[in-house]
């Protein structure tokens, strides 16, 4: 059974940084892809970053150049380094995993990932 547990969220001022972590158990990092999604108040869920087992990454335009996704397979942990945060980044951030998504494509961030964590809240104040 796949379990994803996010951590690292919190409150930060505009321009600040946070690093989110997602501990994954029961998921084989050598197969499939992992991703970060977010959903702010009154907004629809947005896929913001994804990485496959080959290390290929993709980012939403809204975070490109500011956020970096990475994974430590030895620790079964996914990370999201977030820099230059703005109030628009305020949202619940979710980690997701899916062994069926074997390679990153332009459609990956719109995909419905099989497994998702409970989320961690990020609040950015101006």
Judged by phi (left if over 0) then psi (alpha if -120 to 50, else beta), residue 13 lies in beta
pLDDT in the model for residue 9: 98
pLDDT by residue (tens digit) across 8-17? 999 999 999 9
pLDDT by residue (tens digit) across 71-118? 997 879 999 999 999 999 999 999 999 999 999 999 999 999 999 999
C-alpha 97/C-alpha 25 separation (Å) is 11
Strands of 26-89 (E only): list them: 33-39, 46-52, 57-59, 67-72, 77-82
C-alpha 50/C-alpha 85 separation (Å) is 19
């Amino acid at each position: 059974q796949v379990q994803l547990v996010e951590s690292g969220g919190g409150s930060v001022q505009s321009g600040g940084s946070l690093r989110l972590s997602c501990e994954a158990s029961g998921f084989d990092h050598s197969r499939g892809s992992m991703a970060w999604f977010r959903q702010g108040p009154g907004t629809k869920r947005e896929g913001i970053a994804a990485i496959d087992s080959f290390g290929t990454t993709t980012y939403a335009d809204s975070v490109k150049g500011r956020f970096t996704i990475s994974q430590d397979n030895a620790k079964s942990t996914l990370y999201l380094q977030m820099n230059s945060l703005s109030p628009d980044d305020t949202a619940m951030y979710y980690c997701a995993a899916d062994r069926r998504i074997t390679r990153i494509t332009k459609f990956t961030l719109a995909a419905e990932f099989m497994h998702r964590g409970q989320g961690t809240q990020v609040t950015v104040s101006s």
